A = this chain, B = another copy of it.
């Protein structure tokens, strides 16, 4: 026989982090558990002081919490601005109407603009669970989104968050579609472009599954978590910034969708375009250069894929009124030597400081990208942008601007590599034939990057270089021996990361 249990519950905080999903833990004998039932996706509304969130139900079958108590995941506490001891009410959730559009898409019906607006609004408000987002991401995957659907999706994502506006008509930006370790051109491009007198308020992301996001790299040299007002002050003063975009809620729904996409390890062209361009448009950018590295172990594997992506970028850019240039680059191997926040930052500084040992490949890429931006803004003639950018870099003006931006963001510091090192040696001699970017990134992650900013890899074996047996192919940097061991254990389970040509 059941007893009467109220649906007013006292919140307990147990420090359970369930990533981006709100979870509520309730006792199996509570009224809500009894009447809602408990499925793989039971969702309830959790209400406190007029705010409410939707949470997925997990059930407590022990005495971990008392009757009339409930536990929220940390994300739930944050979103509801709740504290331990607060009294919540838990109520029934109506079905999410917009999800019927996702179901219709499963049956081959195209999304119209209103459908995508409603879906994106509901995801932004936390109405979709992880598995519902997984279904949405799946119906948008592959080549299942037509150009008009990508345009609608981009517009819907732009309007899901803050939009920045700037007092000048021309706002420059750059973006790399990613997937290539060490391809850290942003902290070189931004000071060159800003030193040329242009405005480039660059926001970057943190790593999700890679060993370093651009924001992680820059953070080893200067603070990147700035408020909107601070960003505007830095840009007003220096013409450019290098900050973490997550702090300013540009296209916030993108983070939620990307988390599930990454979990499924799918990169669909449509989603990627909408994700990138919605962030750029929300940041107020009017001119954007897109870097698409192509390589067998990069995100984009063939030139055909890159061409298709270029088409989509240009067509959606046109539809939302953004000028776009695309640069298809070599993605066959890491750029520079470092992989991991501090190690990549050291490469960046070597280039900015015109150090004799600065990685030339990183320098060349940054110059090319900065050159295209200068050309796009009319600061250099067609074909003369790279030379103009090189001159700004080699004159020391870019380094000076870099330090000034860092100062405006809160100060500069030298990036520090982690203390423990382990060399991975060539087992025989030969010319380097290929390198697996993905596996290299995985090793850097297992060594602790980006959580330990000094951890990662220093890579010594570019394609075409002759290695002697016993020479280090790369060096693993880590804070702990345990992490080095974990990375080595992974390497034992996989094929060669660096392939040498047969003698």
Chain A residues at the B interface, C-beta cutoff of 8 Å: 1-7, 13-21, 25, 28, 31, 34-41, 58-64, 73-74, 92, 94-95, 99, 103, 106-108, 129-135, 137-139, 141-144, 207-209, 259-260, 262-266, 268, 445-448, 451-452, 479-483, 486-487, 489-490, 493
For this complex, 14 residue pairs linking A to B, each with C-beta atoms less than 8 Å apart, are A3-B480, A4-B481, A15-B62, A15-B63, A17-B58, A34-B448, A39-B208, A40-B263, A92-B489, A107-B142, A130-B131, A131-B260, A134-B138, A135-B137
Q: How far is the CB of A30 from chain B (nearest CB, A)?
A: 10
A58: chain B residues within 8 A (beta carbon): 16-19, 73
Q: How distant is A36 from chain B, measured CB to nearest CB, in Å?
A: 8
Give, as a whole number of angstroms, the nearest-CB distance from A122 to chain B: 14
- Determine how close the nearest CB of chain B comes to the CB of A137; give it in whole angstroms: 8
> Are A482's CB and B134's CB within 8 A?
no
Q: Shortest beta-carbon distance, A470 to chain B, in Å? A: 28
A59 to B20 CA separation, bound complex (whole angstroms): 12
User: Across the interface, do B16 and A209 meet the contact criterion of CB distance under 8 Å?
Assistant: no
Selected contact of A483 from candidates B35, B37, B106, B139, CB within 8 Å: B35
Q: A2-B480, A58-B18 are in contact. Are A143 and B262 (CB under 8 A)?
A: no
Residue among A35, A139, A481 with most chain B CB within 10 A: A35
Closest 6 CB pairs of A and B: A15-B62, A41-B263, A134-B134, A107-B142, A131-B134, A106-B142
A483: nearest chain-B partner, CB-CB: B35
Determine if B262 and A39 form an interchain contact, defined as CB atoms under 8 angstroms apart. Answer: yes
- Roughly how many angstroms separate A143 CA and B103 CA in the complex, as a whole number? 11
In the complex, given contacts A2-B452, A4-B481, A31-B482, what are 16 additional A-B residue pairs having Cβ atoms less than 8 angstroms apart? Answer: A4-B482, A15-B61, A19-B39, A31-B486, A34-B452, A34-B483, A35-B448, A39-B208, A39-B209, A39-B263, A41-B263, A92-B489, A103-B141, A130-B130, A132-B264, A134-B135
Given contacts A40-B19, A445-B35, contact A107 B259 (CB under 8 A): no
Q: Kindly list chain B residues whose C-beta atoms are within 8 Å of the C-beta of A263.
A: 39-41, 129, 131-132
Cβ contacts under 8 Å, A446 to chain B:
35-36, 92
| Distance (whole angstroms) from the CB of A388 to the closest CB of chain B | 40
Q: How far is it, in angstroms, between the C-alpha of A207 and the C-alpha of B102 when the chains are bound?
A: 25
Assembly CA distance A144 to B17 (angstroms): 36
CB proximity of A425 to chain B, nearest CB, Å: 22
Nearest residue, chain B, Cβ from A256: B40
- In the assembled complex, the Cα of A30 lies from the Cα of B28 at a distance in Å of 30
A17 CA to B60 CA in the complex, in Å? 6
Q: How many angstroms between the C-alpha atoms of A40 and B141 in the bound complex? A: 18
Whether A106 pairs with B144 at a CB distance below 8 angstroms is yes
Q: Which residues of B contact A15 (CB under 8 A)?
A: 60-64
- Distance from A495 Cβ to chain B, minimum over Cβ atoms (Å): 12
**Bound CA span A40–B263, Å:** 6
User: Which residues in B have their C-beta under 8 angstroms from that of A14?
Assistant: 60, 62, 64
Contact B107–A143 (Cβ < 8 Å): yes
- Residue pair A60, B16 in contact (C-beta under 8 Å): yes
Contact A264 B17 (CB under 8 A): no
Query: A106's contact among B21, B36, B141, B207, by CB below 8 Å, is which?
Result: B141
Bound-state Cα–Cα, A345 to B131, Å:
35
Q: How far is the CA of A479 from the CA of B31 in the complex (A)?
A: 11
A34 surroundings in chain B (CB, below 8 A): 448, 451-452, 483
Shortest Cβ distance from A170 into chain B, in angstroms? Answer: 37
- Measured between C-beta atoms, what is the minimum distance from A483 to chain B in Å? 6
Question: Given the complex of chains A and B, what is the CA–CA distance between A92 and B19 in angstroms?
Answer: 19
Residue of B nearest to A1 (CB): B479
Given contacts A103-B265, A131-B264, A138-B135, contact A259 B39 (CB under 8 A): yes
Task: Chain B residues near A486: list those with CB within 8 A.
Answer: 7, 31, 35, 92
**Which of A38, A74, A94, A103 has the most B CB atoms < 10 Å from its CB?**
A103
